[in-house]
Structure 1
């Protein structure tokens, strides 16, 4: 279903009984308008030139009367008071974009250069653009050829995905082939762990006809970003019922893919009975107020009022004219609009409410700033976001304390107990590694200075003096770093090969 179809389907009035005022207003308007209708002067027995002289306002009578403007204003106010709505109030603790899995085809055919610089490299660029467009929404990455492998599980941090994305090449795949159905199964497995419906986007240059039926029958929304030059067709892609978006030089293809896959998610949000409906009646107050400005003018005509109202509606408002926006929206309302548009940095600058400001900072990746702002809010929601920000910034002990605070304020807060257990497991793992870690002193390998979190008294506090460069039998820093293989592609090759054998 398209966005327009979803809006039409969801449109209703929160307070429909207020619409009973509409026929009353119409009746009053008809009665008042009828009184203004001029009765024609009888033509019998009066010369035409005398009849014209005795008739007042024959050529200057207004077609629109002040009562017409009053009726329009009353109708706008009544409809607005009825509470027109077509959307739910957004949940501040739920993602505003559908969870998405990107399935990238990594085969020799994707290295063709008919799409510059190559089909594979252009596909990687498009995936990075998609991550930037989604602004922190939950996204996973699957690579496939003859086998399919989960490269990165669901994450809100696009920075985690980019290094792995760069390491993908046909050489790291254990088997050649085109098994899109296997990639679909892996993607649906990832989406199965999400709270709401999600989408799958395939970035590929071709589709095996044998996999078309599986993609068309997928439980999740599927779209394909076709990495083919203009005018090139593929039998499998042509037979697919799911949307196939051709690659473009600009970002219109990525926006179309994101828009398509989010349609089902927005429809699911509309069906979520836990969230109240968002009253949109306030938008009708603006034209009503503009029309009402002319009431104090004697002899005004609605013709000019309509022209000015139309000009105000279509005139572009430049961002620099923030003062005009302040006339109609509070800073928190402006921040909410920016937040809904996933402009989290801008939202954090606009919000006054510390809970919303802290959550916007969290969604923007400013975790330390979010923790500082949320410290003044003593609610379970604030503590939960603080705990998530602490984990993201690797302050695991602070995360444990924050989730304990959540449970103290609300023992039934969703997700708090699970996150507390996860944070404790991370702390236990870190402390175990401290106890068993090898500092490398027996081989002459050490860091400049190593300090471990020993808050619980486990492990040993250690300070290691770095050896002087050039000392006999010791490696310099450059020599040590040269012995470390940090290429992501080699890591992925070994991991994929192990998964394929299993």
Structure 2
């Protein structure tokens, strides 16, 4: 079921009793409209053609009357007041997209260059485009050939997935073949742990017909992005009952995939009774405003009233009003920020929001983690502390993340996921301290100005420091510079990991 049918099925009115105002509007309209052409016009002593030319209002029945506009406006207002809706209000602190597992086929056939630069490279490009479109949504990456392997678990940060995506090539896969059913099972296992229904996206140039039945009966939405030219067909893909989208030179294929995958999320949102219905009646205010404009066609009385209505409020304000744009005439900064947020323009939303909770959350979604923590210090709620904890974790300040999640639980012991994230953050801190105890590479000398010191707040092991190499004209090396000195490619790491997983499996099974 696509998004339109889901919305159509959910359409109803929040306050249906207000629809009874529609007959009232019709009762008011009909007598007034009828009186416009019910006057008896004497016909004695007057030729028909002269009577038609001299009598005004003869064609009133066929002309629109002011009462027609009034009645239409009243009916639209009644419908708007009744609260038409077809969706629930989304939770602003939950990603507004379905979780998706991307299964990329990594076989020699994917290196065919009939789709430039190759099917595999174009598939990677399409995955990056999808990640950009679904910014902030949970996405996992699976690679498969003769075996299936989890490359990146569910994450909201696309930058984590990009380097691993680049390292995928047929040479790192431990077994030949195209076992799509193994990737399917691995994807289903990942989605089973998610709170909302999601989908699986296969990016492949074909399908073994033996796997078609398993995919058709998956029980979760499955979509295929076919890395084939339109003039080519694949017997396995032709047997699929799930949507198959052909790759396109533009973003049309990605837009369609996003709509198909999010249909499951919208269906799940409709079934969430904890979320209120979103009132869409305000949309009808625009046609009502247009109808009201017809009342100003004649006479100056109403025009002067409008000018007075605009000018009089200015007499009671000493400071002149200022508008930086047309949007400022009609929308508050928070309303403009909400629009930018819904359009996933988080940087702009962070600049627009005046509410510190929303501004801090927009900064977090845009990757401004330190700024988000500072902004949210102004808010004493569990939501603010929870977002601060996530921002600390994203910026690798794990101890601060522990404190923030503890604060969230103090403010609201039942706040969703706060306890789970607290335990995860504590495990990370404990792991770092265990590694420090085992390494125990401290030195007795003092710490120089050019040394990097790692946190040892828990006093476990010794303070660990290492001297930062210096180059001519270069001071302390940054984290990126340190990473650039590592001579291990992502593909080499994945090759070793996949080989170990395949060896442990002992047979071509999905592995995590």
TM over 0.5: yes
Evaluate the alpha carbon distance shift between residue 454 and residue 102 of structure 1 in structure 2; reply closer, same or farther with a 3 A threshold.
same
Following superposition, the deviation at residue 438 of structure 1 comes to: 5.2
- The corresponding residue for 2:307 is none
Following superposition, the deviation at residue 465 of structure 1 comes to: 4.8
- Which string of whole-angstrom CA distances, capped at 9 and with x for unpartnered residues, describes residues 14-34 of structure 1? 111111111011011001111
- The corresponding residue for 2:87 is 87
Quote the Cα distance in structure 2 between the aligned partners of 1:481 and 1:429: 21
Out of 480, 493, 496, which is 1:494 matched to?
496
Q: Superposed, which structure 2 residues align to 1:145-294 within 5 Å?
A: 145-294=145-294
Following superposition, the deviation at residue 486 of structure 1 comes to: 1.2
The secondary structure found in structure 1 opposite 2:125 is helix
- The corresponding residue for 1:472 is none
- The corresponding residue for 2:412 is 410
- On the 8 A contact 1:400/1:424 being kept in 2, the answer is yes
Quote the Cα distance in structure 1 between the aligned partners of 2:456 and 2:484: 31
TM-score scaled by length of structure 1: 0.88
Following superposition, the deviation at residue 327 of structure 1 comes to: 3.5
Structure 1 residue 353 corresponds to structure 2 residue 351: no
Following superposition, the deviation at residue 426 of structure 1 comes to: 1.1
TM-score scaled by length of structure 2: 0.86
Structure 1: which 5+ residue stretches go unaligned? Answer: 301-320, 470-479
Following superposition, the deviation at residue 337 of structure 1 comes to: 2.2
The secondary structure found in structure 1 opposite 2:456 is coil
- On the 8 A contact 1:447/1:465 being kept in 2, the answer is no
Evaluate the alpha carbon distance shift between residue 277 and residue 61 of structure 1 in structure 2; reply closer, same or farther with a 3 A threshold.
closer
Structure 1 residue 26 corresponds to structure 2 residue 26: yes
Which region of structure 1 is more displaced relative to structure 2, 384-393 or 40-49? 40-49
Quote the Cα distance in structure 1 between the aligned partners of 2:484 and 2:87: 56
Following superposition, the deviation at residue 449 of structure 1 comes to: 1.4
The alignment covers a number of residue pairs equal to 469
Quote the Cα distance in structure 2 between the aligned partners of 1:52 and 1:441: 111
- The corresponding residue for 1:421 is 423
Evaluate the alpha carbon distance shift between residue 223 and residue 322 of structure 1 in structure 2; reply closer, same or farther with a 3 A threshold.
farther
The secondary structure found in structure 2 opposite 1:450 is strand
- Which string of whole-angstrom CA distances, capped at 9 and with x for unpartnered residues, describes residues 375-409 of structure 1? 10000111111101111111111111111111111
- On the 8 A contact 1:447/1:464 being kept in 2, the answer is no
- The corresponding residue for 1:437 is 439
Following superposition, the deviation at residue 9 of structure 1 comes to: 1.1
- Which string of whole-angstrom CA distances, capped at 9 and with x for unpartnered residues, describes residues 187-206 of structure 1? 11111110010010101111
- The corresponding residue for 1:337 is 339
Evaluate the alpha carbon distance shift between residue 199 and residue 385 of structure 1 in structure 2; reply closer, same or farther with a 3 A threshold.
same
Quote the Cα distance in structure 1 between the aligned partners of 2:442 and 2:496: 26
Quote the Cα distance in structure 1 between the aligned partners of 2:466 and 2:339: 52
The secondary structure found in structure 1 opposite 2:132 is helix
Quote the Cα distance in structure 1 between the aligned partners of 2:368 and 2:74: 47
- Which string of whole-angstrom CA distances, capped at 9 and with x for unpartnered residues, describes residues 307-338 of structure 1? xxxxxxxxxxxxxx973333333222222222
- Which string of whole-angstrom CA distances, capped at 9 and with x for unpartnered residues, describes residues 453-483 of structure 1? 12232232355556899xxxxxxxxxx9999
- On the 8 A contact 1:447/1:466 being kept in 2, the answer is no
Quote the Cα distance in structure 2 between the aligned partners of 1:483 and 1:66: 78
The secondary structure found in structure 1 opposite 2:175 is coil
